[in-house]
Amino acid sequence: MGAQEEKKKEEEEEEAVPPAEKKKKQQKNSKEVFFSVLPDRYEPLIEEEEEEEEEEEERTRRKEEKKRKRKKKFKKYRKNAGKALRFSCRCLMLGLQNMAALYSTPASAMSMVTEVHRTAGSKA
């Protein structure tokens, strides 16, 4: 019974103590650290190293896969861009050729050419 009474008294005293003094009581203390000597035949665990190697391999595999996908994607874009460029160049050249032909022919032949084009269009 004496021990219980002492605990109650200590709790009452702690409640009566202002918070500033409680902080003083809860200061950090140094702890004892124990060192042990390892045996001569100590072998570290290999599991952690194997896991790290597997993670590294997984990362490199993912990186290579991303590179392959990106390379494939850009190859497709280059191919499509090349096709579009070639087509636009053909259209430009045809337009320039038609324009040059129109300016180089005399005006009397122009009326005849347009009539030929109209009749050819109606046959098709």
58 pLDDT more than 60: yes
pLDDT bin (cut points 50, 70, 90) of residue 3 is low
83 vs 89: CA distance, rounded Å:
10
Torsion of CA 59, 61, 65, 67, to 10 degrees: 70
**pLDDT tens for residues 7-36?**
666 666 655 555 555 556 677 777 888 887
Please give the pLDDT value at position 70: 95
Amino acid at 5: E
- Half-sphere exposure (Cβ direction) of 118: Cα atoms closer than 13 Å: 6
pLDDT bin (cut points 50, 70, 90) of residue 124 is very low
Amino acid at 12: E
pTM, entire model: 0.35
**pLDDT tens for residues 77-116?**
999 999 999 999 999 999 999 888 877 877 666 665 566 5
